[in-house]
Every structure is written in C-alpha cells, then in structure tokens.
Amino acid sequence: MENINFLESIIGALLGVIGTIITGYFTFRSQLKNAKVDGKKNSNEFIIELQRQIAEERKHVHEQRLHDSKAINENMKLITQMQKQINAIEIEVTEWRKKYLDLNEKYTLLQQEYNDLQKKFSNLKSQLTRYKKTQNESRSTP
C-alpha cells in the first residue's frame, strides 16, 4: 500500500512540474504573439514582464523540485525500513523452516522407532501365545 502511495506521490510531483513548465511555455508564447501585434511600442515593458514571470516560474519549479526531493527521500526511507522488515521476516521464516525440518526428522525417527516397537511387540505376543499353547499342551498330556 505504501508503495502505491509512493508511486502516486512521485507521479503527482512529476505531473506538477510538467504542468508548470507547459503553462509557462504557453504563457510565454501567447505573450510573445501579443508583443508582435503591439509592435515595438511596449517591447521593453514586455521583456521586463517576461523576465519577471520567468523568474517566478523558475522559483516555483525550484520549490517544486525541493518538495519532490524531500518526498522522494522520505519514501526512500520508508522503502529502506520496509526492506529491513522484509529481511527480518525472511530470516524468521528461514528459522521456522529449519525448526520444521528438525521436527519432521525427529518425527520420522520416532515413527520408525514406533514401528520397530510394534514389530517387537507382535513378536513377543506371538511368542507368548506359543508358550501358553505349549504349556497347555504339556498340562493336558498325562
């Protein structure tokens, strides 16, 4: 979500700068056309006014660049923090995977031991049954 906000703020800033430059260009162009129509009568005043407007536009663009640079720096800090959090999560996931694999190995060993004990129990049970049977046969035979 923060990445989207970051991209939106960068795109908004770039569009603002582009809009300012385009507005300045068209303002300059229309005033230049007006000056040609008026002739040389007010050319000095026109040039002075254009220089003032250009200075204002430069100041505005400079302020916008500073604002955009600050926003980009803040967003880069957020990205760095998010990357650190992602790295920490990846480390934690790796540790949990390792624990899972260890427990899975222990479970497999316990399962094998259980199966071995089941076999031994079955063998002992069958031996006990045979022993009882031989005992019963020996008692029944006089």
How confident is the model over 96-127, as pLDDT tens digits? Answer: 999 999 999 999 999 999 999 999 999 999 99
CB burial class (10 A; 0-12, 13-18, 19+) of residue 64? middle
Q: State both tokens at 118.
A: 């089941």
The whole-chain average pLDDT of the chain stands at 84
Average pLDDT of span 7-24 = 76
Alpha helices in 1-142 (DSSP H): 2-38, 43-140
Do residues 57 and 24 make contact, with C-beta atoms less than 8 angstroms apart?
Answer: yes
- Whole-number Å distance between alpha carbons of 89 and 83: 10
Secondary structure class of 111 (helix, strand, coil):
helix
pLDDT for 136 beyond 70: yes
Report residue 13's pLDDT band, with 50, 70 and 90 as the boundaries.
Answer: confident
Domain-wise residue ranges, the chain: 2-140
pLDDT for 37 beyond 70: no
